[in-house]
Amino acid sequence: MNGAEALIATALNEGIEVCFANPGTTEMPMVAALDSVPGMRGVLFLHENAATGAADGYARMAGKPAMTMLHLGPGMMNGLANLHNARRARSPVFNVIGEHASWHVRSDPLLNTDIETVARTVHGYVKENLGASTVAMDTAQTIAEAMAQGGRSGTLILPHDAQLDDAGDTIPVRRALEPASFSSGHVIEAARRIRAGKSALFLGGDGLSEDALMLAGRIAAGAGVALICETFVARMEKGADLPAPIKLPYRLEDAVALLEQFETVVIAGTSRPVAFFGYPGGASHLTKEDQAVTLAVPGDDVTGALAALADELSAPDARAPRSGSLPDMPAGPIDGAAMSAVIANLQPEGAIVMDEGLTSAAAYHAFSDNSPRFTHMQLTGGAIGEGPGAATGAAIACPDRKVINFQADGSGAYSVQALWTQARQNLDVVTVVAANRRYNILGFELERAGIQNPGPTALSMIDLGSPHLDWVKIGEGFGVQGVSVDTAEGLAQALADALEVKGPRLIEAVMA
């Protein structure tokens, strides 16, 4: 095998099944190896940030990495925003970055960049291959590192000559993952603090899986503990009979007001909550230092820690009965609440909802508490433009489940190229675009900055009109059939129609 073939063979042996790619000249041996070493599904993207977003969405749903194939340093730079989001989601991603031939790079060719420095900006593991003989070992090591620490980016920089040279026929034996554990001391301290006063469980990461939520519900019912989840969840099981944590509000003052009701906030599966931005006179951490107690951090056995905490508290194996219903179906002009209500009412059981609706989706978390069982994913790192790519990756990971991408228009324009991949792969994704035709969140931030009467230039910086984005034409240009609606009734009919068919569809919801 040459080095490129050794890479693909080793990745397959490590359980990698999909390669999300936007290759160039330096990756052509790897492109050829996708045929000479059968078994890896190659999925082409028109832009790297859509590919890395797909790798994030795939990892969240599959629980293991996909491979990305990116072209030199500039290709990785194009994909960095969604690798940042993947880091915040704690998603394992295996990046392979083609590099110039080792004998050529020293001449500083036009596309030469410091790939290692670029790769380290997403705080993962980086390995620069030094020759074909170590490609297989380097591949196995990088994939193992991507699965470490609860999930992160593992990046292998692979020179062109190492891809072409003979690598031998030995594939490393697949290594077993280290089992996750938790601290019994943390469990005992959390139980002591819960008994001492009014407490909340702050859940994130693996703490939002089905098993973890059922245990959290048991603790809540048995010990009178409130349940709160992260503002932006990587993956949360929701709906029907599952416990429904309160979402930590985005707005600083609201988040602080919620948390200060509790003497103790027990943190499980995430870290101590931090304000999205630093505002003058505001706090960074949203809990006082002596208020927060860590039960389990990302990478720990969060479910095991919650089970031990429930036993320590002698919480009965039962949960308080839930009450509630879906919101009424709206009528008339479309706003964010109407969009949230329509989706919450119509989404089928087993759906995956990739939610990058941002301000338009503010009501969706609460509205969907009583939807049929589904998986909720969100933009995790604040770098907008993840929704279309992540929905694409989720659909590839779970081809038998309907994916709904609840998408803001401004952020959707960042990675709209993912629609082409959805059409090419005939993926079962319904994209519902909240077309408010402005960067609405920036209007909110102008107010937060004390700018009550912004001038015409400032207003032009948050306006997406003149001309507005025609999402139906954009979708059709990429091969996705679409329809535009401007009433809640029209949205409900369009969504019901889209959910009845397989394959990608787009709905532009023009908001009042």
Q: For the segment 243-285, what is each residue's pLDDT rounded down to a tens digit?
A: 999 999 999 999 999 999 999 999 999 999 999 898 888 889 9
Could you tell me which residue, 287 or 283, shows the higher pLDDT?
Answer: 287
- The mean pLDDT of 168-175, rounded to a whole number, is 94
CA separation for the pair 207, 201 (Å, rounded) = 10
- The mean pLDDT of 301-314, rounded to a whole number, is 97
- Residue-wise pLDDT for 235-248, tens only, equals 999 998 899 999 99
Tokens 């009550």, located at residue: 452
pLDDT at 320 over 70: no
Amino acid at 494: A
Question: pLDDT grade, residue 321 (50/70/90)?
Answer: low
To the nearest 10 degrees (0 to 180), the angle between helices 3-13 and 135-146 is 40
- Domains of the chain are 3-164 (3.40.50.970), 184-312 (3.40.50.1220), 336-510 (3.40.50.970)
- The mean pLDDT of 298-302, rounded to a whole number, is 96
Instruction: Using CA atoms of 245, 395, 491, 383 in order, give the dihedral in degrees to the nearest 10.
Output: 60
- The mean pLDDT of 400-417, rounded to a whole number, is 97
CA separation for the pair 135, 143 (Å, rounded) = 12
CB within 8 A of 353, min separation 6: which ones?
343, 347, 364, 368, 374, 375, 376, 377, 403, 404, 406
- Residue-wise pLDDT for 330-357, tens only, equals 999 999 999 999 999 999 999 999 999 9
Tokens 């969604």, located at residue: 82
Question: pLDDT grade, residue 45 (50/70/90)?
Answer: very high
- Residue-wise pLDDT for 8-29, tens only, equals 999 999 999 999 999 999 999 9
pLDDT more than 90, % of the chain: 89
- Residue-wise pLDDT for 470-480, tens only, equals 999 999 999 99
pLDDT of residue 343: 98
Pull the structure tokens for residue 70: 């990116």
